């Protein structure tokens, strides 16, 4: 028997009416609650809910049992009735106990932002790795919340509302979920081993990772730079897998370019961690290209959120190029000039109009060349025919002929030294 929890695709075309709840905590240093709720509404729609109302509360302390104060819970209950809502979506992470208590009081399903993100991930996962990762994250999230999940997920079979599930049944399901977690964990570690082997073979190349908030245009930029056909969609979390491509065209040296999963505010840490492959691409990158959507009203916050997630990943030492995309959306030419003044090191592009691409390629090449190390090679004069071959592996900054030899002053990518030595020995 397979519990319906594993049924990740929603089978009903029904779009449940949802009430969104945001909290403005005093110590909240993040987004103003209104902005965050706008984003939550976008997430809810992407996850196929219909946000019909929002409710906010200013809170100095969080109520341990119900998150909100009792007056606000009553107000919420009225709103649920009034709007005939089937689900309440909190912008903050709720504990399993808070969720359970709120469901009892509100008599409808209660979920939080991480769950909505998980639903979207689950809808968008395509590869076996992404599917396994999302499923694992969903199961881990659901385990302590099993009673609710049963009710909540019953809508996936077309039914809505709470369902009475006996304690014994829950015990059984818990065990099944635990078994499934351990099965998926093993499967994932096999996939990761294969990936690791692939990654090792790429280690000598210069690796560039495209990173940034969701929907800023990372995949579009990947396509612009590589001529490839990665999925681009105007939706949140279109990309869940790291795609890596070797790019030679228009670059003096081949580079490896990786597209990665988008980042978002209040993304639960363990969810980030579950996207191991995509994050490995970020961790192993020699250069990060941080893409920002200049046309988004909250681009600054999106930029700082992405930077803080990257910091948490421990990649703050990796050189980074900031790329402001979608400049075609700026109505006023002065705005662009102002931005250039504010961010003199950034590159401004429009993937749609293909502007700024040469500048971006140059920025990538400049970063690469800045990391080359000096290296000297001496060749017999008769072997100067090797110089064009050497140029494929290194930058020749000077060549001096003397007696019967030629000395080349090179700048070389450290990993390429061994390959160059092999080449020269092969001709020795």
Ligand X SMILES: Nc1nc2c(ncn2[C@@H]2O[C@H](COP(=O)(O)OP(=O)(O)OP(=O)(O)O)[C@@H](O)[C@H]2O)c(=O)[nH]1
Binding footprint of ligand X on the chain (CB under 6 A): 214-220, 232-234, 236-239, 262, 325-326, 328-329, 350-352
* Shortest reach from residue 189's CB to Mg ion, in Å: 26
* Shortest reach from residue 350's CB to ligand X, in Å: 4
Nearer to Mg ion, 261 or 408 (CB): 261
- Identify the bridge partners of residue 246 per DSSP, sorted by sequence position: 256
* Shortest reach from residue 330's CB to ligand X, in Å: 10
Nearer to Mg ion, 106 or 310 (CB): 310
Residue 350 contacts which entry, Mg ion, ligand X, none (Cβ below 5-8 A, type-dependent): ligand X
Residue 114 contacts which entry, ligand X, Mg ion, none (Cβ below 5-8 A, type-dependent): none
* Backbone conformation region of residue 259, classed left if phi is above 0, alpha if psi is from -120 to 50, else beta: beta
The residue from 147, 207, 239, 350 that contacts Mg ion (CB under 5 A) is 239
In 353-428, DSSP assigns E strands to 373-380, 394-402, 405-412
Nearer to Mg ion, 218 or 322 (CB): 218
Q: How many residues bind Mg ion (CB under 5 A)?
A: 4
Written as six digits, the tokens of 71 are: 């007056």
Nearer to ligand X, 147 or 277 (CB): 277
Written as six digits, the tokens of 279 are: 């994050």
Identify which of 326, 87, 124 has the alpha carbon closest to the alpha carbon of residue 218.
Answer: 326
The residue from 44, 238, 364, 372 that contacts Mg ion (CB under 5 A) is 238
* Shortest reach from residue 224's CB to Mg ion, in Å: 13
Is 260 one of the binding residues for Mg ion (CB under 5 A)? no
Nearer to ligand X, 33 or 264 (CB): 264
Nearer to ligand X, 185 or 329 (CB): 329
* Shortest reach from residue 213's CB to ligand X, in Å: 7
* Shortest reach from residue 163's CB to ligand X, in Å: 34
**Judging by DSSP bridges, how do beta strands 17-25 and 87-90 pair with one another?**
parallel
* Shortest reach from residue 221's CB to Mg ion, in Å: 9
Contact call for residues 134 and 121 (beta carbons, < 8 A): yes
* Backbone conformation region of residue 413, classed left if phi is above 0, alpha if psi is from -120 to 50, else beta: beta
Contact call for residues 1 and 35 (beta carbons, < 8 A): no
What is the per-residue DSSP string for 5-61? GG--S-------EEEEEEEEETT--SS-HHHHHHHHHHHHHHTT-EEEEEEEEEESS
Contact call for residues 52 and 32 (beta carbons, < 8 A): no
* Shortest reach from residue 156's CB to ligand X, in Å: 23
Helix, strand, coil shares of the chain, percent, nearest 5, are 50, 20, 30
Residue 220 contacts which entry, Mg ion, ligand X, none (Cβ below 5-8 A, type-dependent): ligand X
Residue 248 phi/psi, 5° resolution?
A: -120, -35
Residue 215 contacts which entry, Mg ion, ligand X, none (Cβ below 5-8 A, type-dependent): ligand X
Identify which of 379, 388, 3 has the alpha carbon closest to the alpha carbon of residue 176.
Answer: 3
Residue 395 contacts which entry, ligand X, Mg ion, none (Cβ below 5-8 A, type-dependent): none
Nearer to Mg ion, 122 or 219 (CB): 219
Written as six digits, the tokens of 32 are: 């103003």
Nearer to ligand X, 105 or 261 (CB): 261
Residue 274 contacts which entry, ligand X, Mg ion, none (Cβ below 5-8 A, type-dependent): none
Nearer to ligand X, 303 or 372 (CB): 303
* Shortest reach from residue 217's CB to ligand X, in Å: 3
- Taking CB positions, which residue lies at the least distance from ligand X? 262
Footprint of Mg ion on residues 192-221 (CB under 5 A)? 218-219
Identify which of 378, 382, 374, 372 has the alpha carbon closest to the alpha carbon of residue 424.
Answer: 378
Residue 124 phi/psi, 5° resolution?
A: -95, -10
Nearer to ligand X, 315 or 351 (CB): 351
Contact call for residues 239 and 277 (beta carbons, < 8 A): no
Residue 214 contacts which entry, ligand X, Mg ion, none (Cβ below 5-8 A, type-dependent): ligand X
* Shortest reach from residue 355's CB to ligand X, in Å: 8
Give the three-class secondary structure for 252: coil
Q: What is the binding site for Mg ion (CB under 5 A)?
A: 218-219, 238-239
């Amino acid at each position: 028997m397979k519990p319906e929890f594993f049924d990740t695709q929603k089978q009903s075309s029904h779009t449940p009416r949802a009430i969104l709840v945001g909290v403005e905590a005093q110590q909240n240093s993040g987004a103003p609650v209104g902005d965050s709720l706008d984003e939550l509404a976008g997430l809810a729609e992407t996850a196929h809910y219909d946000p019909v109302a929002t409710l906010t509360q200013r809170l100095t302390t969080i109520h341990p049992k119900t998150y909100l104060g009792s007056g606000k819970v009553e107000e919420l209950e009225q709103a649920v009735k009034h709007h005939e809502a089937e689900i309440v979506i909190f912008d903050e992470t709720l504990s399993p106990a808070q969720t359970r208590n709120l469901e009892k009081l509100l008599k409808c399903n209660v979920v939080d932002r991480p769950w909505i993100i998980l639903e979207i991930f689950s809808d968008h996962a395509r590869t076996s790795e992404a599917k396994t990762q999302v499923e694992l994250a969903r199961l881990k999230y659901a385990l302590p919340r099993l009673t609710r999940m049963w009710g909540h997920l019953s809508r996936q079979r077309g039914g809505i509302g709470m369902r009475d599930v006996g304690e014994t049944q829950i015990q059984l399901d818990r065990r099944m979920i635990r078994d499934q977690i351990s099965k998926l964990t093993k499967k994932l570690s096999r996939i990761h081993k294969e990936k690791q082997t692939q990654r090792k073979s790429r280690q000598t190349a210069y690796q560039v990772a495209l990173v940034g908030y969701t929907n800023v245009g990372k995949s579009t930029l990947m396509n612009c730079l590589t001529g490839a056909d990665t999925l681009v969609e105007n939706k949140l979390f279109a990309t869940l897998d790291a795609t890596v491509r070797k790019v030679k065209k228009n670059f003096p040296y081949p580079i490896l370019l990786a597209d990665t999963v988008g980042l978002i505010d209040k993304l639960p840490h363990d969810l980030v961690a579950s996207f191991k492959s995509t994050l490995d691409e970020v961790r192993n990158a020699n250069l990060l290209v941080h893409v920002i959507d200049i046309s988004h009203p909250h681009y600054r916050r999106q930029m700082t959120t992405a930077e803080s997630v990257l910091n948490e990943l421990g990649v703050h030492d990796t050189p980074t190029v900031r790329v402001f995309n979608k400049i075609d959306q700026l109505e006023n030419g002065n705005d662009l000039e102002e931005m250039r003044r504010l961010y003199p090191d950034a590159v401004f592009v429009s993937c749609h109009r293909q502007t700024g691409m040469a500048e971006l390629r140059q920025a990538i090449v400049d970063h690469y060349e800045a990391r080359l190390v000096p290296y000297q090679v001496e060749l017999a004069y008769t072997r100067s025919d090797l110089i064009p071959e050497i140029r494929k592996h290194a930058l020749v900054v000077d060549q001096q002929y003397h007696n019967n030899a030629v000395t080349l002053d090179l700048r070389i990518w450290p990993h390429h030294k061994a390959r160059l030595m092999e080449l020269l020995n092969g001709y020795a």
